[in-house]
Amino acid sequence: MLLEARHLHIGYGDAPAVWDVSFDVDAGEIVSVIGPNGAGKTTLINAIAGLLRCRQGELRFDGADMTKVRAHDYCGHGIALVPEGRRLFTKMTVEENLELGCYLPSARAARASSLERVYGLFPILRDKRQQPAGELSGGQQQMVAIGRALMARPRIVLFDEPSLGLAPTIVDDMFDIISRVRDDGAAVLLVEQNVLKALSIADRAYVLEQGRIVATGLPDELLKQPHIREAYLGV
């Protein structure tokens, strides 16, 4: 198993946010974590990215104990994050933002080939590579955020609410792109409120509510559960 989380407890100061959460992501998988606002999804994915420390539990990536790894070394282990809200440097050019993803020596050595890979995935970014990122549309900015993560040549990409704030016409394209990221060799952990879209591309999924995993299974199995249909699909 590529990523293994066991009995994770995560919080902010004295306030707990995630309790006793366990899940796995294997190489070549897309695993979705769905749930309502305030469920702890972003807290969970930030801990997997090394931005938050786990208070208790085990977190292993390819066998390495990540609870003992410094936050800035997570990327070197092959973990990349596409954060909620994109978090671009809006006054820097598209290409400058992309190059921030390859600051590690191993990734920097492959800069040219990685840029070609990103521009192959997002041809519009090649045309706009010298344009300030802040001048792009929301969908194009999300492409830059994904491209920046791919520049690190990760083994797993963590997506935090990638459809947030995007026009409905762009959302389908965004989920197609996430599938292509997996097809190109990286595992995917996807945190997303758009339940149908998240489940449509997932191999497996977990439901997170009030900081706890309340259901897990194959997407088709979850969609048949009355609680899931009522709470997330309005059926």
Write the pLDDT tens digit of every residue in 55-74: 999 999 999 999 999 999 99
What mean pLDDT is reported for the chain?
94
Query: Is residue 118 domain-resident?
Result: no
Model confidence at 234: pLDDT above 80 = no
Specify the pLDDT at position 30: 98
Question: What is the average pLDDT across 43-51?
Answer: 96
Instruction: Please state the domain count of the chain.
Output: 1
Question: What is the average pLDDT across 98-116?
Answer: 93
Query: Is residue 99 domain-resident?
Result: no
Model confidence at 210: pLDDT above 90 = yes
Residues 4 and 126: their CA atoms lie apart, in Å, by 36
Query: Is residue 125 domain-resident?
Result: no
Query: Is residue 46 domain-resident?
Result: yes
Q: Give, in order, the Cα–Cα distances in Å from 180 to each of 29, 93, 117, 120.
A: 12, 25, 12, 11
Model confidence at 145: pLDDT above 90 = yes
Residues 22 and 54: their CA atoms lie apart, in Å, by 12
The domain spanning residue 216 has which CATH number?
Answer: 3.40.50.300
Nearest alpha-carbon partner for 228 in 22, 30, 219: 219
Query: Is residue 111 domain-resident?
Result: no
pLDDT in tens, 166-207: 888 899 999 999 999 999 999 999 999 899 999 999 999 999
Model confidence at 142: pLDDT above 90 = yes
To 10 degrees, what angle do helices 138-150 and 168-183 make? 10
Place of tokens 């990215």: 49
Query: Is residue 8 domain-resident?
Result: yes
Specify the pLDDT at position 232: 82
For residue 199, the enclosing domain spans 1-78+156-164+186-235
DSSP codes, the chain: --EEEEEEEEEETTEEEEEEEEEEE-TT-EEEEE--TTSSHHHHHHHHTTSS--SEEEEEETTEEGGGS-GGGTGGGTEEEE-TT----TTSBHHHHHHGGG-SHHHHHTHHHHHHHHHHH-HHHHHTTTSBGGGS-HHHHHHHHHHHHHTT--SEEEEESTTTT--HHHHHHHHHHHHHHHHTT-EEEEEES-HHHHHHH-SEEEEEETTEEEEEE-HHHHHTSHHHHHHHH--
Specify the pLDDT at position 165: 85
pLDDT in tens, 12-21: 988 999 999 9
**Confidence class for position 126, pLDDT limits 50, 70, 90:** very high
Residues 157 and 117: their CA atoms lie apart, in Å, by 15
Query: Is residue 72 domain-resident?
Result: yes
Contact 161, 172 (CB under 8 A): no
Model confidence at 235: pLDDT above 70 = no
Model confidence at 152: pLDDT above 90 = yes
Count of positions (residues) in the chain:
235
Positive or negative CA dihedral for 108, 173, 159, 79? negative
Contact 40, 191 (CB under 8 A): no
Query: Is residue 67 domain-resident?
Result: yes
Residues 82 and 55: their CA atoms lie apart, in Å, by 24
Specify the pLDDT at position 231: 85
Does residue 166 or residue 31 have the better pLDDT?
31
Contact 48, 59 (CB under 8 A): yes
